[in-house]
Amino acid sequence: MQLSPNSVKFETHGASDPPNADNLVKEATMHQHLDDNELLADIAATTERRDRFDRRARAGRYDSQDAAVSARIESQRLAALHTERQSRGLDIDAAA
């Protein structure tokens, strides 16, 4: 069975597969094709996902460890998005 890139969710990453610097560089270049509005929308959506995972991790439920890993991955993705935003000179508050 072959997976498409869209079928892989961040929640499936385990603690044994942490993002590394090479992945973050790939992630940063991955967002260059987005226009400014798409980039800002992606930042907002990623922030919501990260916050949701963080709340789940802090709740201490049975899946809190997986949620903590997912929150960390989303945080690193968010950092890459903000790096791209800053390189374009976009102000996140002006767009809101």
Under a CB-based contact definition with an 8 Å cutoff, are residues 38 and 88 in contact?
Answer: no
Residue 48 makes CB contacts below 8 A (sequence gap 6+) with none
Residue identified by tokens 């610097």 is 21
Residue-level pLDDT at 72: 94
Residue 71 CB burial class (10 angstroms; 0-12, 13-18, ≥19): buried
pTM of the model: 0.64
Could you state, in chain order, the average pLDDT of each consecutive group of 10 residues for the chain (96 residues)?
42 47 58 81 94 93 89 94 88 67
Residue-level pLDDT at 91: 82
Residue-level pLDDT at 74: 95
Residue-level pLDDT at 61: 80
Distance CA 84, CA 51 (A): 21
Residue-level pLDDT at 53: 95
Residue-level pLDDT at 1: 39
